[in-house]
Amino acid sequence: MAKRWYVIHTYSGYENKVKTDLEHRIETYGIGDKVVDIQIPTEEVTEVKDGGKRETKEAKVFPGYVLVRMEVDDNTWAVVRNTPGVTGFVGLDGKPTPLRRDEFDKIMRRGGVRTSTAAPTPKRTSTNIEPGMSVRVLSGPLADFDGQVSEVNAEAGKVKVMLMIFGRETPVELTLDQISVIS
């Protein structure tokens, strides 16, 4: 059976603890040949502190989620599912759904070069954005995801976009310069 990437949901803020605990459980139960990798998607974020001092730190791209590359069977499912801090697998009807390779690449920012014929060309705009418009995320951890605008806050320069993440429609707040309208 092939090893695929699955997404597990954890308590927010417990991602690193879940990863550590899961690594210990894999070793204890001797299933290292079936559960081969655990990843927490992160990105570097620069914050401007008081006095203009810049501080760069790693931030989780999807708080509350951990990626696990594994072969799913009753034993591996039980070991992962019963790890403290794990609330379940992302999937339909309680059944874990594996990520497609392109989804994994986007999440881990390992996607290949985009070709202009692969998708509609985004048209950059900062005005005239309305709810219901289709947009593409241009920058940040969710770059290359497409979604639909659900709310616009022109005064603050922000929009709420519904993106399909881990098979669920998820609201994400973005600035106007992070998106472009798909024509």
Residue 72 lies inside a defined structural domain of this protein: yes
Residue 79's pLDDT is: 94
Token reading at 38 = 């655990």
Region of 133 on the Ramachandran plot (φ > 0 left; ψ -120 to 50 alpha; else beta): beta
Per-residue H/E/C for 31-92: CCCCEEEEECCEEEEEEECHHHCEEEEEEECCCCEEEEEECCCHHHHHHHHCCCCEEEECEE
Which of 81, 111, 141 is at the close of a domain? 111
Residue 124's pLDDT is: 41
Same domain, 76 and 138: no
Same domain, 88 and 29: yes
CATH code where residue 172 lies: 2.30.30.30
Residue 112's pLDDT is: 40
Residue 125 lies inside a defined structural domain of this protein: no
> Cα(16)–Cα(93) distance, rounded to whole angstroms?
27
Residue 175 lies inside a defined structural domain of this protein: yes
Q: Which of 144, 143, 174, 138 is nearest to 159 (CA)?
A: 174
For 76, phi and psi rounded to 5 degrees?
A: -65, -40
- Identify the band that residue 127 occupies on the pLDDT scale cut at 50, 70 and 90: low
Instruction: Using the structure block, give the residue that is written with the tokens 């969710």.
Output: 142
23-81 pLDDT, tens per residue? 999 999 999 999 999 999 887 777 777 777 888 888 888 888 999 999 999 999 999 99
- Write out the residue range of the structural domain in which residue 13 sits: 4-111
Residue 144 lies inside a defined structural domain of this protein: yes
Same domain, 88 and 169: no
Name residue 66's beta-bridge partners: 8
Residue 152 lies inside a defined structural domain of this protein: yes
131-156 pLDDT, tens per residue? 999 998 888 778 888 899 999 888 88
Residue 86 lies inside a defined structural domain of this protein: yes
Same domain, 101 and 141: no
> Cα(153)–Cα(96) distance, rounded to whole angstroms?
36
Higher pLDDT, 86 or 109: 86
Same domain, 101 and 164: no
How many independent structural domains does the chain possess? 2
CATH code where residue 104 lies: 3.30.70.940
Same domain, 20 and 69: yes
9-31 pLDDT, tens per residue? 999 889 999 999 999 999 999 99
Residue 45 lies inside a defined structural domain of this protein: yes
As a dihedral over the C-alpha atoms of residue 6, residue 10, residue 12, residue 17, rounded to 10 degrees, the angle is -100
Residue 142 lies inside a defined structural domain of this protein: yes
